[in-house]
Amino acid sequence: MNTSKQMWSTLPPIPLRGLGTAFVESLEHYLCRLASSTALSVKHICTIAGIHPAESGNAIQNTSMLSGTGALTQSRVLAIERLTGVDHLRHGSLWMLQHIVGRGAFGRHTKSRRWCPECYRDWNPDDSWEPLIWAITSLSRCPKHQCALETRCPNCGRGQPVQTPSSRRLFCISCKSLLGGQGERPPLPGFYSWVDKQICDMIELCATPGRQPLDKETFTTYLGLLMKSVGKEGSPMMLVSLRRLNDFRYQRVKPTIRTIINVCALQGVSVVEMLENPEVAASLPLFDLWRGFSSLPLLSGRLSSEYKILCWLLRSLISRCKEPYLPSMDVSLREMGLSRVALREFDIDLYESYEQRYRSQGSSSVRRRSADAFCTARALLQEGRSKVAPHSIFPWLTSKVSDQICLTIDEAAPACLSVITYERLLRMSKNRVGEATEEAMTDPRWLQSCSS
């Protein structure tokens, strides 16, 4: 062993700030602080620790490099601990939940950071730090100042990279404006206070020195007992979906923090109760509260408006395509450039309702033929829209599809009618992407357009 190299690689044992509290410092910020104190770059420290970008693309620029829950992430945390001689750095991550929550646990893109503008305004380099809790999308407000967290520069709208050096973190990387200032306090439903408390308690649990990772059976035990007590009849869509994911074919699928909070909200228990004693938490009476339960509409980051518009489109298709063919949601997801997994996380009730309605349209072979008719009709409609009078589009399209894929007129008609409806709704949706707000989605004119 090259001992001189080992001595050169040793870094000062700087302790993690906020240990044992819900405001524990994130390992990403710790790494930036360590880099600043040693006059090294974050990339250099990672290289010394044996963490190389080639392992997973631009991993060094990704929050999950240290705070996530994967096996590679955990090995990196241990490498930084060995390098500094500080054995509690793991408590600045979701290390304790590594067997419970899965990929995407934070519920957001983790290459950019969130921050409290008032924490930045009052920043003191000697005793200030960025907490791990800021990275969790479902947290609506800063626990300290109770103001909304920000993800973009208020001046130019630019997102801020997570590994920005300590000396530049208070300023926008693009326009150099201060990111600190007076925070906003928008009105939020009362349940957000409960959600924020659950997240604080969970992070405090993760930040407690000496705690070991929770058993991988913790959540599945709780979920299994809960499903047994609820039964199949009248189960909320959220449990229907989780029951499917808990099937033996999907044993490797782990929930996000958002999903765990929703399941605990269904039962009316705290997240820490569920994590520490799943059997007792699952045995508490439900008081029939699950009847009509909808998943909590928790905040979902910068793509929130796009997913709201996608949800509007899918609800419109369900209501308008009762007789015509209902296309797979993958068609809409491709058009919008959005993720099926993220949609399920955003609105699990709509996701399951749409999937049930789609699967009820017959066997897989029947659905495949209808999908072929739908795709053919879309291609023909885009080619011939300018050549056919509007009132003649439906009979012309039905005839063309019937000829091309050897269907009868009656068999082709549902998919063709669905295509015409879909194209109109899609055009309305795309016109709102980029400018949609929460208010726009609840505008009576916007809702009315669904049935007009």
Q: Please return the burial class of 356, using the count of CB atoms within 10 Å of its CB with bins 0-12, 13-18 and 19+.
A: exposed
Residue 301: per-residue pLDDT = 52
3-state SS class at 113: coil
Residue 208: per-residue pLDDT = 94
Residue 61: per-residue pLDDT = 40
Residue 372: per-residue pLDDT = 92
**DSSP-derived secondary structure for 294-307:** -------GGGHHHH
Residue 111: per-residue pLDDT = 73
β-sheet bridge partners, residue 159: 152
Terminal CA-CA length for the chain: 76
The Cα–Cα gap between 56 and 58 comes to 6
Neighbours of 365 (CB within 10 A): 8
8 Å CB contact between 60 and 47: no
Encoded amino acid at 321, one letter: C
Largest CA distance in the chain: 83
Residue 52: per-residue pLDDT = 61
Residue 124: per-residue pLDDT = 93
Residue 130: both structure tokens together: 């960025």
Residue 204: per-residue pLDDT = 96
Per-residue pLDDT of the chain (452 residues; tens, 9 = 90+): 334 343 444 688 899 999 999 999 998 899 889 988 888 888 888 787 777 654 433 434 444 456 666 666 777 888 888 888 888 999 999 999 988 887 677 765 567 889 999 999 999 988 999 999 998 888 889 999 999 999 889 888 888 888 788 889 999 999 999 999 999 998 877 778 888 999 999 999 999 998 899 998 898 888 888 877 766 655 667 777 777 666 644 455 678 888 888 888 877 788 999 999 998 888 776 544 444 455 666 655 555 677 888 888 898 899 888 778 999 999 999 888 887 877 877 777 888 889 989 999 988 888 999 999 999 999 888 886 656 666 678 888 888 888 888 888 888 889 988 988 898 888 887 766 444 444 444 443 334 443 33
The Cα–Cα gap between 205 and 208 comes to 5
The Cα–Cα gap between 182 and 251 comes to 46
Residue 297: per-residue pLDDT = 61
8 Å CB contact between 136 and 200: no
Residue 171: both structure tokens together: 């300023």
The Cα–Cα gap between 325 and 27 comes to 50
Residue 444: per-residue pLDDT = 39
The Cα–Cα gap between 6 and 348 comes to 50
Residue 266: per-residue pLDDT = 76
The Cα–Cα gap between 58 and 188 comes to 36
Nearest to 346 by CA among 107, 105, 114: 107
Residue 207: per-residue pLDDT = 95
Residue 417 CA, chain-centre distance (Å), reads: 34
β-sheet bridge partners, residue 150: 115
Domain boundaries, the chain: 8-168, 215-299, 302-448
Q: What phi and psi values does residue 402 have, to the nearest 5 degrees? A: -60, -40
Residue 8: per-residue pLDDT = 43
Neighbours of 1 (CB within 10 A): 5
Name the pTM for this structure: 0.72
Encoded amino acid at 166, one letter: S
8 Å CB contact between 92 and 286: no
Nearest to 135 by CA among 239, 63, 213, 74: 63
